[in-house]
Structure 1
């Protein structure tokens, strides 16, 4: 592909612009297209689809890699703010693709609804931009992203080649394994799993009570077509994810209720 034909790729994340995961994602994206990075200036994990409406937003050009050939901006807002600012204020044209991540930690199953990583991808999808959220099942800032790179590149190339339907983005989770241990890529559905949550109640030195959220991840889904099954069995999971939350299958049933009597 000639330079003039290179796709324009927006890169963002929720772990912050200096996180190792986004640096790995930038490296991969830069081998495929022209890259613009707009990412939070600090960690924004579990922000979901939050946007900033009560505070000012700052978005400043930065140089993190002195050898970079791409533009990079650090934003004071959420991952969704980053996508909105990138597409409406910073980029000269709509990007051909938005990629978010690589997240430090899983965004499989129910985690997708809490994820700032995936919410950035969803926001791009809302704006009509093909989008992918990438996550590695390792929460450490010292995680090794090298084994992820070939799979990330392949999925990006496939999306650019095939496109995505309107209203669909991809949620990609990668097991924390060596390249030779990863068995391949498997298309899956979101597992029916949840968090069993508790609050650890404490008292600070001033006598005021406060809470830390804790929890255990519970997977009751026995299906072999879910993202959790794929990840537990050494596959990269790819889940087509939609942001239309309408329960279409229940509309006819609901129309039979006596709302207007």
Structure 2
């Protein structure tokens, strides 16, 4: 059988250890092409470049025969460029990550990792975003490798529902401490935000975003609960943002 063509991308940039691990795993399953940002793009969400030029650079020192490209754009730009300019064949799967830091709950809205996966989904490409709840550049990805391989294999085998991509988050645990995989819903949460006001050596005021994550959801079927209790969370994410349940109520208004 022909090996699936897998697009690998991320938001931490082409040099991040997480994407190197994901490249190697995907390469065991299919034919891999990497298109990733040339610099970190964390927190970019689904931003796209519309008021600046975009550049593509092919990396000459390919690893394990994997073709690698960088772009000057956002994670969503990377997927757009990959599909429209770089890869001329049908892309069978897009995997994004492995992100250094979790993307559970409300973080899915801010995540460049997940926005790349969602962009692939919009283009009709089955996609998965992978994140590890460890922000360290030296994060240990070894314990989660078998689970990533299993999830990728299952998506290739079964496909995904139309309009759905997967948001996969791993707890920071050793392999023997991970209890298993849970299919979850996104927890209701928000950030209690504040801005740390500071002053530069030249007397100019500036601000640094700070705050605390607040989970408002006590359910045991959420991604936050799963991660806190030693499970890998898998959340099916749809990019149709319509609040379908509100349509009937709005139709009662005098509009």
Report the TM-score when normalising by structure 1.
0.96
Aligned to 1:31: 28
Q: What is the Cα-based RMSD across aligned positions, in Å?
A: 0.9
Q: Secondary structure at the match of 1:102?
A: strand
Deviation at 1:130, TM superposition (A): 0.2
Deviation at 1:54, TM superposition (A): 1.2
Q: Secondary structure at the match of 1:62?
A: strand
Deviation at 1:221, TM superposition (A): 1.0
Aligned to 2:246: 250
Task: Kindly provide the CA deviation profile for residues 83-111 of structure 1, in whole angstroms up to 9, marking residues without a partner as x.
Answer: 00000000021210000000000100000
Deviation at 1:204, TM superposition (A): 1.3
2-side partners of 1:246 and 1:220: how far apart?
22
Deviation at 1:67, TM superposition (A): 4.2
1-side partners of 2:28 and 2:51: how far apart?
38
Query: Runs (4+) of structure 1 moved beyond 6 Å?
Result: none
Aligned 1:185-196 pairs, distance under 5 A? 185-196=181-192
Task: Kindly provide the CA deviation profile for residues 132-185 of structure 1, in whole angstroms up to 9, marking residues without a partner as x.
Answer: 000000000000001111111000000000001111000000011001101111
**Are 2:50 and 1:19 equivalent residues in the alignment?**
no
2-side partners of 1:257 and 1:225: how far apart?
35
2-side partners of 1:168 and 1:67: how far apart?
31
Q: Which of 203, 207, 227 does residue 199 from structure 2 map onto?
A: 203
Aligned to 1:48: 45
Aligned to 1:137: 133
Aligned to 2:3: 6
Deviation at 1:214, TM superposition (A): 0.2
Deviation at 1:207, TM superposition (A): 2.0
Q: Which of 167, 173, 177 does residue 177 from structure 1 map onto?
A: 173
Unpaired runs of 5+ in structure 1?
A: none
Task: Rate the CA distance shift 1:67–1:204 in 2: closer, same or farther, 3 A.
Answer: closer
Unpaired runs of 5+ in structure 2?
A: none
2-side partners of 1:181 and 1:122: how far apart?
30
**Are 2:97 and 1:101 equivalent residues in the alignment?**
yes
**Are 2:235 and 1:233 equivalent residues in the alignment?**
no
2-side partners of 1:225 and 1:17: how far apart?
34
Report the TM-score when normalising by structure 2.
0.98
Equivalent residues, number: 255
2-side partners of 1:170 and 1:90: how far apart?
24
